[in-house]
Amino acid sequence: MMSHHQNWFIVIRTVGRTDLLGRTLHSLVTAGVSRFPVEIVVVENGGTRRAAELVKSLAEGCRIQYLAIPEVGQAAASNAFLNRNPGTFAWFLDDDVRVTAEAIEAYHLAAQRGQQGREYYGGPLGIDYETPPPEWLLTYLPRSARGWQPNMEDMATTVPMFLGANWAAWADDLLAVGGFENQFGPGGVGAETALQKKLFQRGMRPVYLPQGLVYHWVPRSRCSPQWALRRAYQIGVAEGLEQPGSEVFLFGYPRWAYRGLMERFSRWCVTRFSRDVHRRFQAAYELWFFLGWMKGKQARRYRPT
């Protein structure tokens, strides 16, 4: 059980990635996290305890705790924290970000606002690339791999969807809408978006913190064309799961989807030997996304209500 005299926590979900986690934790220490009345909680999921020694080694430099759970996935790790810490303010970070001093200050001020039941928060995301991807690929990469720093004019006309690597809310508000959904799988693709939509539908206001900047580490392996295609499939699954519908199903899938699948498969076949790498990739991306979407629709149909 966490200490409930503390009402502001930095929650970092991890699964055995001690090198990256160490980078994140050291950035917090370097940025002066000890100057703030905040406690770091590292939640390691999947049954491993590789981060325990790392957390212990930093205990003298900042307020930090360690929690290990057997369940797999960011959603399970996030819910484990929420269930142990009702009434608290939680700033969720991934284990592969670099935190700035300005970000800690921004979330400190957000926690002090005390707008439980009224607001939730998120900040921009910069990128630390191991090797930058080709320019044409950026359009197909998620914001977590290309960065997200909108201007205030954009924020005035759109409802922001904050990235899971850098956002915050009150635990009670998240618990009131059911917490993080495990249906999105161990990778959690779409879980934060679904949760923020529920908060917004509940009447809460998303507040963008322009000073709350953190930098996401993106290795070559997570901004390659192959990775983008796998991600397209995952995004398709998430969208299929979210979308309601009363379609006529055939062999477990919407009947009309077979025509859409054949169209995309035909375009993929036609472009397989094109010299235009962008054209080849676009056809493959559309096919993989649609396959994921069909899988999500199938899963939603058979999901218990």
96 lies in the same domain as 174: yes
> Does residue 4 surpass a pLDDT of 80?
no
75 lies in the same domain as 192: yes
Question: Domain range holding 104?
Answer: 8-222
Q: Is residue 1 part of a domain?
A: no
Of 222, 245, 264, which one is at a domain's C-terminal end?
222
DSSP strands (E only) in the chain: 8-14, 39-44, 64-68, 89-94, 97-99, 119-122, 125-129, 166-170, 205-208, 214-218, 249-250, 253-254
Angle of helix 225-242 relative to helix 277-302, nearest 10 degrees? 30
177 lies in the same domain as 97: yes
According to DSSP, the residues that pair with 217 across neighbouring strands are 128
210 lies in the same domain as 256: no
Residue 299 banded pLDDT, cuts 50, 70, 90: confident
181 lies in the same domain as 280: no
138 lies in the same domain as 278: no
CA pair distance 120, 151, nearest whole angstrom: 18
- Do residues 91 and 9 lie in contact, with contact meaning Cβ atoms separated by under 8 Å? yes
Give the CATH number, domain containing residue 213: 3.90.550.10
Residue 64's CB is within 10 A of a number of other CB atoms, namely 23
> Does residue 147 surpass a pLDDT of 90?
yes
Among the ranges given (176-185, 203-212, 227-236), the one the predictor scored with the smallest mean pLDDT = 176-185
Q: Is residue 137 part of a domain?
A: yes
Residue 5 banded pLDDT, cuts 50, 70, 90: very low
Q: Is residue 254 part of a domain?
A: yes
For residues 159 and 279, which has the higher predicted lDDT (pLDDT)?
279
For residues 240 and 158, which has the higher predicted lDDT (pLDDT)?
240
Name the domain count of the chain. Answer: 2
Of 199, 222, 245, which one is at a domain's C-terminal end?
222
119 lies in the same domain as 266: no
pTM exceeds cut of 0.85:
no
Q: Is residue 143 part of a domain?
A: yes
135 lies in the same domain as 242: no
> Does residue 156 surpass a pLDDT of 50?
yes
Of 190, 222, 254, which one is at a domain's C-terminal end?
222
Q: Check residue 3 and give its pLDDT.
A: 41
Q: Write out the two tokens for 236.
A: 């398709």
188 lies in the same domain as 254: no
Q: Is residue 2 part of a domain?
A: no
103 lies in the same domain as 203: yes
Give the chain's mean pLDDT.
Answer: 90
